[in-house]
Amino acid sequence: MKKKYQIIYEQIKKDIAEKRYLEGDFLPTESEIAEEFEASRPTVT
- Per-domain boundaries in the chain: 4-44
Question: pLDDT tens for residues 9-38?
Answer: 999 999 999 999 999 999 999 999 999 999
- Please choose, from the candidates 8, 14, 12, the residue with its C-alpha nearest in 3D space to the C-alpha of residue 37: 8
- For position 37, what pLDDT does the model report? 97
Number of Cβ within 10 Å of residue 4's Cβ equals 14
Question: Could you tell me the pTM of the whole model?
Answer: 0.86
Share of the chain above pLDDT 90, in %: 98
